[in-house]
């Protein structure tokens, strides 16, 4: 049957629908039976049946595809288990190897930290900037909003990411060609370009040093000194720039964050801003003293969601660096490393340990953010 | 007088800024389109060629005669379509339970469902892979499609629930008096009233399935089963001396056309619902 993949899967799909219908009926009936035992009214029993009947696709799926795998992987994370061989209990060895010996994993942690530290603020800042611009109630605002949101829809398709790979080429990539032309035509831009290259390479050199434990790249950058006049960013050519391309893509895909900010800006009563204008506050003062505090809850939301998303970045790294071996580890995200480390040698035990570590890190980060939010997030100002 | 002049210059400046930002954001897509109409020489030229002087359809001819690309296109359509149908239907059923029925345990189950949104899907791929391997599903479309049939996607359930909860409950009550059961109320009364939210959710699901890379990468292990993102990603090979960029970009354009069409028709609903589902917290 597998020679005909469409028919095979269609049959399974029909079977699944039948299974869901049957299991829903059983779950509903069980709930009704319990409700009857509890001596509830006829009406209540019927509602219990209907509720569990309709909710049970999710309940059953949650048990099969979430709870069961999570429990299994928790067990496997303490074992040496490869597909095809029986698992053996090794205690904490996987976790020790991960945290103490695995340089690539440490690299992926530091890379993710880098993206969170530099990429996320840029992404949130750019989203807020676009939202403030759009909030002026201009004609044609919808077209702009659509354009800004488009990268979210298309941006994570491998096809579009390949176009970025074309544009980011160092030799004749369009981005570097534009930078080169602009630097030649307009010297201050050239200076700005060279200064940014210097800063980016020093910061990246430092973080790569943290990863590798040796700082030769940072030293090289330092000894070369201020970048030469014809220098352009080496987006996908050197470890010093690989993460910057990913940040570029993050900023490009800031559309959902922008929509969230727009909703927040819309909720600010016009009267407050008008009153401030009467009192003589200029645009910047209005933004700094009124708008910004009022959008902090939205910044907080974007920070929490954005951090989880950053931890999970996969597609850009696969498309930009997959086959670029000595270079790729300098851009690995944690989830990419999970994919790489697990399926390279089908090391299920080790992969399970990474999965659980990622889950724990997300839980801790989210918890810390919620604990710290009352230090800077302003609720109930209006 | 001075104030209006300032006002007008401010507006013009704003328009210039917004237009510049739009061009930047749309640039990769425009460049993709432009490159797909170039010849190989033009695509690798050392000078910037914004728009090819002569529109060349070679790239499209190349990719459309590539049978593997056509197979990938059919695969993607089959996968996204079949997955979408089951996911949409089950999500609508579950949303009904969370919005129109009162049952013991409803709030607990709902909270549990919302909390699963914090679990990154990728953290589950390892054990799920073992599970699918054990039931011999690797190398089929099943692992990509069947899990969605169990109301995959808590955020989407939430979105539909928010729409269903706004429908007056009196509608259900009068239907009950007329002798309708819950399945009839769900299918004949509620579903027709939430066509727009259903279209939105369908759009989001379609985009998610169409763009999915990691799933097909793990489970569709032969060229015969490749979906578009996997196949198109393979077109770029670092070992090639020159990359066939026009052909790759033509494949990219054809891959994104369905996304454009879907987004064009559903954009009004999408832009609103990002905010609704985003504001749950």
- Cβ separation B150–A73 shorter than 8 A: no
Residues near A29 by beta carbon (within 8 Å), at least 6 away in sequence: A49
Give the range among A319-323, A334-338, B18-22, B144-148 with minimum mean pLDDT: A319-323
Of residues B272 and A4, more confidence is placed in A4
B281 pLDDT band, cuts 50/70/90, is very low
Domain A103-170+234-376 in CATH: superfamily? MetI-like (1.10.3720.10)
Of residues B214 and B2, more confidence is placed in B214
Task: Give percent above pLDDT 90 in chain B.
Answer: 64
Return the residue of B nearest to A72 by Cα. Answer: B127
Give the pLDDT mean for A360-366. 89
User: Residue A236: which of A306, A323, A108 has the closest Cα?
Assistant: A323
Give the pLDDT mean for B123-140. 92
Of residues A308 and A299, more confidence is placed in A299
Give the range among A265-279, A343-357, B84-98 with minimum mean pLDDT: A265-279
Q: Which residues in B lie closer than 8 A to residue A51 (C-beta atoms)?
A: 97, 101-106
Query: Distance of CA A41 to CAs A32, A353, B185, Å?
Result: 11, 49, 22
User: Residue A355: which of A126, A83, A74 has the closest Cα?
Assistant: A74
d(CA B279, CA A354): 31
Place of tokens 């009162």: B102
The 10 Å CB-count burial string (b at 16+, else e) for A289-319 is: ebbeebbbbbbbbbbbbbbbbbbbbbbbbbb
Our separate counts of H helices and E strands in chain B read 15, 0
The 10 Å CB-count burial string (b at 16+, else e) for A350-370 is: bbbbbbbbbbeebeebeeeee
| Residue A97 buriedness (CB in 10 A; 0-12 / 13-18 / 19+) | middle
Q: Per-residue pLDDT tens for A138-149? A: 888 888 998 999
- Cβ separation A9–B151 shorter than 8 A: no
- Cβ separation A20–B150 shorter than 8 A: yes
d(CA B165, CA B197): 12
Return the residue of A nearest to B110 by Cα. Answer: A55
- Cβ separation A8–B127 shorter than 8 A: no
Q: Which residues in B lie closer than 8 A to residue A158 (C-beta atoms)?
A: 211, 213, 228-230, 232-233
Of residues B121 and A189, more confidence is placed in A189
What's the longest Cα–Cα distance across chain B? 78
Kindly state the helix (H) or strand (E) to which residue A225 belongs, with its residue range: none
Res. B280: pLDDT tops 50: no
Q: Provide the pLDDT for residue A131.
A: 93
| ipTM here | 0.91
d(CA B83, CA B206): 9
Q: Provide the pLDDT for residue B3.
A: 66
B:147-176 residues touching chain A, CB 8 A cutoff: 147, 149-152, 157
Q: Provide the pLDDT for residue B77.
A: 97
d(CA A22, CA A16): 10
Tokens representing residue B171 in the block:
């509608």
Q: Provide the pLDDT for residue A86.
A: 86
Q: Which residues in B lie closer than 8 A to residue A301 (C-beta atoms)?
A: 278-279, 281
Q: Provide the pLDDT for residue A381.
A: 66
- Cβ separation A338–B281 shorter than 8 A: no
Res. A130: pLDDT tops 50: yes
Q: Which residues in A lie closer than 8 A to residue B101 (C-beta atoms)?
A: 47, 50-51, 54
| Domains of chain B and any CATH numbers | 58-278 (1.10.3720.10)
pTM of the model: 0.92
A322 pLDDT band, cuts 50/70/90, is confident
- Cβ separation B229–A69 shorter than 8 A: no
Task: Give percent above pLDDT 70 in chain B.
Answer: 96
B279 pLDDT band, cuts 50/70/90, is very low
Average pLDDT value for chain A = 90
- B192 and chain A in contact, CB less than 8 A: no
Q: Provide the pLDDT for residue B278.
A: 57
Place of tokens 């800063």: A199
Q: Provide the pLDDT for residue A8.
A: 95
- Cβ separation B18–A51 shorter than 8 A: no
The beta-strand segments (E) located in chain A are 79-80, 88-89
Give the pLDDT mean for B17-34. 94
Torsion of CA A237, A240, A243, A246, to 10 degrees: -40
- B224 and chain A in contact, CB less than 8 A: yes
- Cβ separation B256–A355 shorter than 8 A: no
Task: List own/partner pairs for A231-235 with CB under 8 A and 24 or more apart.
Answer: A231/A193, A231/A194, A231/A197, A232/A170, A232/A176, A232/A179, A232/A180, A232/A193, A232/A197, A233/A170, A233/A175, A233/A176, A233/A179, A233/A197, A233/A200, A234/A170, A235/A168, A235/A169, A235/A170, A235/A173, A235/A175, A235/A176
Give the pLDDT mean for B195-221. 92
B277 pLDDT band, cuts 50/70/90, is low
Return the residue of B nearest to A166 by Cα. Answer: B245
Give the pLDDT mean for B195-200. 88
- Cβ separation A138–B106 shorter than 8 A: no
Q: Would you list the domain boundaries of chain A?
A: 5-67, 103-170+234-376
A347 DSSP 8-state letter: B
- Cβ separation B267–A146 shorter than 8 A: yes
Give the pLDDT mean for A98-116. 92
Q: Per-residue pLDDT tens for B217-270? A: 999 888 899 999 999 999 998 888 888 999 999 999 999 999 999 988 888 777
Please tell me the distance in Å from B195's CA to the nearest CA on chain A.
19
Q: Per-residue pLDDT tens for A177-208? A: 999 999 999 999 999 999 999 999 999 999 99
Q: Provide the pLDDT for residue B85.
A: 96
Q: Provide the pLDDT for residue A76.
A: 94
A279 DSSP 8-state letter: T
**Residue of B35, B207, B237 lying closest to A166 (CB–CB):** B35
- Cβ separation B186–A145 shorter than 8 A: no
Q: Which residues in B lie closer than 8 A to residue A359 (C-beta atoms)?
A: 119-120, 123
B123 DSSP 8-state letter: G
Q: Is B222 in contact with B234 (CB distance < 8 Å)?
A: no
Res. A333: pLDDT tops 60: yes
- Cβ separation B22–A148 shorter than 8 A: yes
Return the residue of A nearest to B100 by Cα. Answer: A51
In order, the DSSP letters of B186-232 are IIIIIHHHTHHHHHHHHHHHHHHHHH--HHHHHH--SGGG--HHHHH
Query: Distance of CA B220 to CAs A76, B109, B139, B143, B232, Å?
Result: 25, 33, 5, 9, 14
Of residues B180 and B277, more confidence is placed in B180
Q: Is A55 in contact with B97 (CB distance < 8 Å)?
A: yes
Q: Provide the pLDDT for residue A90.
A: 93
Q: Which residues in B lie closer than 8 A to residue A162 (C-beta atoms)?
A: 232-233, 235-236, 248-249, 252
- Cβ separation A358–B123 shorter than 8 A: yes
């Amino acid at each position: 049957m597998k020679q005909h993949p469409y028919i095979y899967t269609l049959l399974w799909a029909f079977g699944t629908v039948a299974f869901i219908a049957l299991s829903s009926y059983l779950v509903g009936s069980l709930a009704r039976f319990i409700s009857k035992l509890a001596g509830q009214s006829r009406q209540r029993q019927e509602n219990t049946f209907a509720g569990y009947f309709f909710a049970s696709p999710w309940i059953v799926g949650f048990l099969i595809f979430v709870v069961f795998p999570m429990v299994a992987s928790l067990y496997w994370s303490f074992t040496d288990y490869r597909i095809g061989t029986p698992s053996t209990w090794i205690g904490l060895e996987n976790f020790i190897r991960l945290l103490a010996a695995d340089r690539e994993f440490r690299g992926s942690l530091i890379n993710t930290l880098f993206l969170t530290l530099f990429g996320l603020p840029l992404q949130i800042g750019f989203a807020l900037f676009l939202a403030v611009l759009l909030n002026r109630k201009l004609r044609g605002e919808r077209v702009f909003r659509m354009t800004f949101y488009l990268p979210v829809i298309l941006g994570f398709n491998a096809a579009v990411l390949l176009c970025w790979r074309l544009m980011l080429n160092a030799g004749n990539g369009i981005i570097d060609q534009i930078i080169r032309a602009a630097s030649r035509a307009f010297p201050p831009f050239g200076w700005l370009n060279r200064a940014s290259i210097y800063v980016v390479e020093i910061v990246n050199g430092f973080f790569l040093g943290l990863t590798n434990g040796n700082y030769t790249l940072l030293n090289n950058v330092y000894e070369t000194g201020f970048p030469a006049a014809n220098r352009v960013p080496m987006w996908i050519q050197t470890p010093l720039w690989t993460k910057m391309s990913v940040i570029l893509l993050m900023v490009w895909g800031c559309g959902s964050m922008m929509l969230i900010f727009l909703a927040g800006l819309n909720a600010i009563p016009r009267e407050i801003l008008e009153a401030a204008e009467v009192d003589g506050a200029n645009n910047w003062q209005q933004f700094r003293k009124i708008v910004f505090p009022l959008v902090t809850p939205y910044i907080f939301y974007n920070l929490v969601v954005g951090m989880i998303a950053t931890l999970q970045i996969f597609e850009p790294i696969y498309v930009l660096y997959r086959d670029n071996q000595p270079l790729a580890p300098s851009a690995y995200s944690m989830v990419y490393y999970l994919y790489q480390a697990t399926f390279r040698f089908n090391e299920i035990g080790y992969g399970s340990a990474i999965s659980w570590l990622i889950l724990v890190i997300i839980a801790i980060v989210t918890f810390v953010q919620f604990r710290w939010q009352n230090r800077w997030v302003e609720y109930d100002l209006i | 007088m001075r104030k209006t002049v300032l006002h007008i210059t401010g507006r013009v400046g704003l328009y210039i800024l917004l237009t510049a930002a739009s061009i930047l954001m749309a640039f990769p897509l425009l460049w993709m389109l432009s490159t797909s109409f170039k010849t190989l020489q033009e695509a690798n030229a050392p000078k910037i060629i914004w728009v090819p002087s002569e529109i060349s359809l070679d790239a499209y001819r190349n990719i459309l005669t590539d049978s593997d690309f056509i197979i990938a296109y059919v695969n993607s359509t089959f996968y996204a379509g079949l997955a979408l149908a089951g996911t949409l239907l089950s999500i609508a059923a579950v949303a009904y339970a969370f919005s129109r029925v009162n049952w013991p345990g409803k709030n607990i189950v709902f909270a549990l469902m919302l909390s699963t949104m914090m679990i990154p899907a990728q953290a589950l791929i390892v054990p799920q892979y073992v599970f699918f391997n054990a039931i011999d599903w690797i190398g089929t479309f099943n692992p990509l499609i069947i899990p969605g049939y169990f109301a995959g996607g808590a955020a989407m359930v939430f979105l539909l629930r928010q729409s269903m909860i706004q429908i007056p409950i009196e509608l259900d009550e009068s239907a009950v008096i007329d002798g309708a059961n819950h399945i009839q109320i769900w299918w004949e009364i509620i579903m027709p009233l939430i066509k727009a939210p259903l279209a939105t959710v369908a759009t989001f699901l379609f985009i998610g399935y169409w763009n999915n890379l990691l799933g097909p990468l793990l489970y569709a292990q032969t060229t015969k089963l490749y979906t578009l993102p996997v196949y198109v990603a393979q077109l770029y090979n670092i070992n090639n001396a020159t990359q066939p960029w026009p052909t790759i970009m033509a494949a990219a354009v054809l891959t994104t056309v369905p996304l454009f069409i879907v987004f064009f028709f559903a954009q009004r609903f999408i832009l609103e619902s990002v905010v609704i589902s985003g504001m749950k917290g």
